[in-house]
Structure 1
Amino acid sequence: MLKAIVNQQTFNIHADDSATIIDGQTLDWDIVEIRKNHFHILYKNRSYNAEVLEADFQTKSFLLSLNKKQFVVNVKDRFDILLEQLGMTDAANAKVNDLKAPMPGLIVSIQVQVGDNIKKGDSLLILEAMKMENVLKAIGDGKVKSIKVNNKQNVEKNQVLIEFE
């Protein structure tokens, strides 16, 4: 499940190998990659040329051209949607001195050590919750001050996992 925001309009998207569904409607289209970042699309007997002009995977923001008209598309994946549901939408904007568990789960892997310098987007640890592995990433630059958990440890929601200087 994805949410795409285009010109302040939100679309709910579900795609798998058999179909693409947007807001409950099956999208009957044919899309072919012509060359890197260039696509040809057939939809309702009309032809479209699409190009990915810019892609910022960190912020999940894309600039697309569709028949020479440009669109900014912001995408939210299932993890962004989950954080929204947990009331943590402003977490990335706040100054944070520690990483807290967004949900109860099991620490599968710790990918940093005390003293490590980290950059925004670096993987810090993997938390298994509801049979899914969630990679928790740094929301800013910093230095690991202490690690409050161990591998294979169960944690509760909002439990401090890592402290930063």
Structure 2
Amino acid sequence: MLQVRTGPDQLWDIDYRSGGPITVNGQAFEWDLAALGDGCYHILYAGKSFAAELLSVEYQTKTLVLKLNGQRMELQAKDRFDLLLDKLGMSNTAASKVNELKAPMPGLIVDIRVSQGQVVQKGDPLLVLEAMKMENILKAPGEGTISAIKVNLRDNVTKGQVLIQFS
């Protein structure tokens, strides 16, 4: 089960189970998806054709940015664990105690947008990681001060490698 926010008041409950039908807000969701390569897709849904391009993915915050028929759209997903933390009032506590940013996947550092000693707010862009021909903007998981940048421009990084430390 995922809860996906596509706008300030647009919330979608998506249920997907292995081998079962996908439902959106309790209704069966039947679609045809064809990968065209380089993050581009063709979608057929309810007799309509859609062109989709995946612009960026942030695995830490579970945020996708895509272009759907030329219109930019940001999607924020929460899985059952995120929803449970929200219900228990623990979601902000976990994010504010992060001391480092790790690479969510292997890739190449193509841009560093911060410097040591800089104060950042939650969601501020820190680095751009290129993986599988897609640029992923890695953002600050919480408020803090950059105490160390552990990578350089054009460095190849591995999944889980520490990229930035916070104080």
Normalising to structure 2: TM-score of the pair?
0.55
Q: Higher relative contact order at CA 8 Å, sep ≥6: structure 1 or structure 2?
A: 2
Cα distance change, pair 94–55 in 1 and its aligned pair in 2 (3 A): closer
Residues 54 and 64, structure 1, Cα contact 8 Å, conserved in 2: yes
Aligned partner of 1:2 in structure 2 is 2
Q: Output one character per residue of 1:16-65: Cα deviation in whole Å (capped at 9) or x when no partner.
A: 33321111111111111111311111011111111111111111111111
Bigger Rg over Cα: 1
In structure 2, what is the Cα distance between the partners aligned to 1:83 and 1:120? 21
- Structure-2 residue corresponding to 1:79: 81
2: CA distance, partners of 1:66 / 1:6: 12
Q: Is the 8 A contact 1:58 1:121 kept in 2?
A: no
Q: Is the 8 A contact 1:30 1:42 kept in 2?
A: yes
How many residues are matched?
A: 105
- From the superposition, tell whether residues 29 and 67 of structure 1 become closer, same or farther in structure 2 (CA, over 3 Å): same
> Could you say which residue in structure 1 is the equivalent of 2:15?
14
User: What secondary structure, in the 3-state scheme, does the structure 2 residue paired with 1:84 have?
Assistant: helix
Stretches of structure 1 that go unaligned for 5 or more consecutive residues are: 97-117, 123-138, 142-164
Indicate whether 1:24 and 2:26 are aligned: yes
Runs of 4+ in 1 over 2 A off after TM superposition: 92-96, 118-122
Answer 1 or 2: which has greater helix percent. 2
- Cα deviation, 1:90-143, whole Å, max 9, x if unaligned, reads 2135458xxxxxxxxxxxxxxxxxxxxx72459xxxxxxxxxxxxxxxx779xx
The CA distance in 2 between the partners of 1:45 and 1:74, in whole Å, is 26
Distance 1:37 1:4 in 2: 20
Q: Is the 8 A contact 1:5 1:11 kept in 2?
A: yes
AA in 2 matched with 1:77: D
SS at match of 2:82: helix
